[in-house]
C-alpha cells in the first residue's frame, strides 16, 4: 500500500507503522496485516476494518460462536515536520458476546455478574482505544513521539493479541492475556517515546485498574501506574521488546499491586500470496505485591498463509495460574491449532471462520 504513504511526511509514515495504540510493528507486518485492509475515505482519513467470525468449544459442555469486530478510523494532520494522528477504535464485542463472557477453559481475569471470571474470557469495552499521537523527527534518524489516550495502550508488553499479526486469524484471547498484554485498554495513558534507528525507548503513566464489566462506558481513573519499554528493530522482519511496569490494583476484587515484566520476539515474513507469515514468542511475569508470588507465562503462536484466504494457525501456552477453582498455583498448558478461511470481504470488513 505504498501509494498511501506518498503524501505523508516522515513522521506520518512513522505513525502509520504503529500497530494500534502505542506499538510499532515491523513495516512488513503492518503492511500485510492492518494496512492491507485499509480504505481511504477522506483526504486524510482511513478506515481499516477488522472482523472475524469464530467458533470455540474449549470449555466442557458449552459452545459459543464468537464474532470479534474491531472498527478503527485513523485521521492525521501534518503540523510542520510533525504530525498529529487521531485513532479511535471501537469493539462490537459487548454486543456480540452474550452473558458478559465467552467460554475459554482455564481463562481468568476481570469479572461478570459481580464475580471473577474462571474458564471464561471477558469481552472488550466498546471504546477500545481513543488516542492522540504526535510525532516529529528530531535530527537525523531520530523520531520523538507523544501519545495521550483517555483509553489506550501504555508501553507495556507485546502488541496486544487483538492487533497482533501472529494472532490475527486466532481471535480468542491467550490464557496469558493478563500476564502479557492486558493493559492495552488502560485509562488515562500518557507515553513519551524516542526512536533512533533500530532502537526505541518509551515511558508511560496510566491508570492500573482494569475496566469493570459494564462494557459500554469508559472506566476513568487517575494516572497511578507506570511502565517502560525498550524495543529493537534489527530488520524489517524482526522486532523484540523488553518491558516492565507497576499496575496499581489491576483486579477490582483482589488485593495488591502487580509488577509485570514481559519480553517478546516477533518475526514476520511476506509470502507470495501477499499475506505474511507471522510468529511471536512471548514471556510475561506478574509479581503480586500482596501474595508475593511470581506467576510466569509463555506463549508461542504463528499464523501461516496458505493462500490469500486460507491460514494455518497455532498457539502453545504455559501459564501459572492461582485464580482457578482449586486453590494453589497450577501450570496450565494449552495447545491450539486451527485452519481459518476468510469467506468474504465487504465494505472494508473481513469475515472468516476458524475450525478448531
Ligand atoms: Cu484485552
Choice between 333 and 273, residue whose per-residue pLDDT is larger = 333
Span from the CA of 42 to the centroid of ligand 1 (angstroms):
30
Span from the CA of 23 to the centroid of ligand 1 (angstroms):
15
Span from the CA of 182 to the centroid of ligand 1 (angstroms):
5
Choice between 273 and 70, residue whose per-residue pLDDT is larger = 273
Span from the CA of 325 to the centroid of ligand 1 (angstroms):
22
What tens digit of pLDDT does each residue of 286-325 get?
A: 999 999 999 999 999 999 999 888 889 999 999 998 877 7
pLDDT over 90 (residue 5):
no
Measured between its terminal Cα atoms, the distance across the chain in Å is: 32
Span from the CA of 81 to the centroid of ligand 1 (angstroms):
34
pLDDT over 80 (residue 79):
yes
Length, in residues, of the chain: 356
pLDDT in the model for residue 344: 52
Distance of CA 350 to CAs 55, 71, 239, Å?
Answer: 16, 11, 27
Span from the CA of 122 to the centroid of ligand 1 (angstroms):
8
Span from the CA of 137 to the centroid of ligand 1 (angstroms):
31
Span from the CA of 21 to the centroid of ligand 1 (angstroms):
12
Span from the CA of 44 to the centroid of ligand 1 (angstroms):
28
Choice between 105 and 288, residue whose per-residue pLDDT is larger = 288
Choice between 37 and 99, residue whose per-residue pLDDT is larger = 99
CATH of the domain at 99: 2.40.160
Span from the CA of 123 to the centroid of ligand 1 (angstroms):
8
Q: 238 forms bridges with which residues in the sheet? A: 235, 267
Total tally of structural domains belonging to the chain = 1
Span from the CA of 143 to the centroid of ligand 1 (angstroms):
28
pLDDT in the model for residue 175: 93
pLDDT in the model for residue 95: 83
Span from the CA of 181 to the centroid of ligand 1 (angstroms):
7
Q: Cell 506518498: give the residue.
A: 6
Span from the CA of 173 to the centroid of ligand 1 (angstroms):
8
Span from the CA of 27 to the centroid of ligand 1 (angstroms):
24
Calpha distance 10→124 (Å, rounded): 33
Span from the CA of 207 to the centroid of ligand 1 (angstroms):
15
Average pLDDT over the chain, rounded to an integer: 79
Whole domain around residue 293: which residue ranges? 2-355
Are residues 50 and 160 in contact, defined by beta-carbon separation less than 8 angstroms?
no
pLDDT in the model for residue 181: 95
Are residues 196 and 141 in contact, defined by beta-carbon separation less than 8 angstroms?
yes
Span from the CA of 339 to the centroid of ligand 1 (angstroms):
23
Name the most confidently modeled range: 164-168, 188-192, 345-349, 351-355.
188-192
What tens digit of pLDDT does each residue of 106-150 get?
A: 888 888 888 888 888 888 888 888 889 999 999 889 999 999 999
What tens digit of pLDDT does each residue of 262-294 get?
A: 999 999 888 888 888 999 999 999 999 999 999
pLDDT in the model for residue 347: 38
Calpha distance 198→181 (Å, rounded): 23
- In this prediction, residue 9 has a pLDDT band, given cuts at 50, 70 and 90, of confident
Choice between 27 and 303, residue whose per-residue pLDDT is larger = 303
The 3-class secondary structure across the chain, one letter per residue, is: CHHHHCCCCHHHHHHHCECCCCCECCHHHHHHCCHHHCCECCCCEECCEEEEEEEEEEECCEEEEEEEEEEECEEEEEECCEEEEECCEEECHHHHCHHHCEEEEEEEEEEECCEEEEEEECCCCCEEEEEEEEEEECCCCEEEEEEEEEEECCCCCCCCHHHCHHHCCCCCCCCCHHHHCHHHHEEEEEEEEEEECCEEEEEEEEECCCCCCCCCCCCCCCCCEEEEEEEEEEECCEEEEEEEEEECCCCCCCCCCEEEEEEEEEEEEECCCCCEEEEEEEEEEEEECCCCCEEEEEEEEEEEECCCCEEEEEEEEEEEECCCCCCCCEEEEEEEEEEEEEEEEECCEEEEEEEC
Choice between 75 and 36, residue whose per-residue pLDDT is larger = 75
pLDDT in the model for residue 69: 60
Span from the CA of 215 to the centroid of ligand 1 (angstroms):
12
Span from the CA of 262 to the centroid of ligand 1 (angstroms):
16
pLDDT in the model for residue 323: 79
Amino acid at each position: 500500500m505504498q501509494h498511501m504513504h506518498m503524501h505523508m511526511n516522515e513522521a506520518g509514515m512513522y505513525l502509520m507503522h504503529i500497530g494500534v495504540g502505542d506499538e510499532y510493528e515491523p513495516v512488513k507486518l503492518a503492511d500485510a496485516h492492518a494496512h492491507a485492509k485499509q480504505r481511504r475515505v477522506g483526504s486524510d482519513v482511513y478506515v481499516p476494518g477488522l472482523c472475524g467470525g469464530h467458533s470455540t468449544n474449549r470449555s466442557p459442555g458449552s459452545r459459543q460462536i464468537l464474532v470479534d469486530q474491531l472498527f478503527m478510523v485513523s485521521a492525521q494532520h501534518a503540523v510542520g515536520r510533525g504530525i498529529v494522528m487521531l485513532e479511535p477504535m471501537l469493539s462490537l464485542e459487548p454486543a456480540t458476546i452474550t452473558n458478559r463472557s465467552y467460554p475459554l477453559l482455564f481463562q481468568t481475569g476481570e469479572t461478570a455478574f459481580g464475580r471473577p471470571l474462571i474458564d471464561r474470557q471477558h469481552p472488550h469495552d466498546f471504546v477500545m482505544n481513543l488516542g492522540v499521537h504526535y510525532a516529529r523527527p528530531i535530527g537525523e534518524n531520530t523520531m520523538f513521539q507523544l501519545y495521550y489516550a483517555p483509553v489506550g495502550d501504555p508501553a507495556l508488553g507485546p502488541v496486544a493479541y487483538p492487533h497482533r499479526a501472529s494472532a490475527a486469524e486466532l481471535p480468542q484471547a491467550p490464557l496469558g492475556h493478563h500476564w502479557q498484554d492486558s493493559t492495552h485498554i488502560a485509562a488515562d495513558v500518557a507515553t513519551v517515546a524516542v526512536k533512533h534507528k533500530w532502537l526505541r525507548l518509551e515511558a508511560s503513566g496510566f491508570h492500573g485498574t482494569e475496566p469493570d464489566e459494564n462494557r459500554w462506558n469508559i472506566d476513568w481513573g487517575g494516572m497511578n501506574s507506570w511502565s517502560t519499554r525498550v524495543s529493537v528493530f534489527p530488520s524489517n522482519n524482526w522486532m523484540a521488546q523488553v518491558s516492565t511496569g507497576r499496575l496499581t490494583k489491576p483486579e477490582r476484587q483482589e488485593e495488591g499491586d502487580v509488577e509485570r515484566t514481559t519480553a517478546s520476539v516477533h518475526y514476520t515474513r511476506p509470502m507470495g500470496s501477499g499475506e505474511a507469515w507471522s510468529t511471536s514468542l512471548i514471556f510475561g511475569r506478574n509479581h503480586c505485591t500482596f501474595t508475593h508470588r511470581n506467576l510466569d507465562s509463555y506463549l508461542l503462536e504463528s499464523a501461516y498463509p496458505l493462500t490469500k484466504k486460507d491460514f494455518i494457525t497455532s498457539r502453545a501456552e504455559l501459564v501459572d495460574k492461582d485464580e482457578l477453582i482449586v486453590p494453589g498455583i497450577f501450570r496450565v498448558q494449552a495447545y491450539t491449532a486451527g485452519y481459518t478461511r476468510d469467506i468474504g470481504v465487504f465494505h472494508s470488513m473481513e469475515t472468516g471462520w476458524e475450525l478448531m
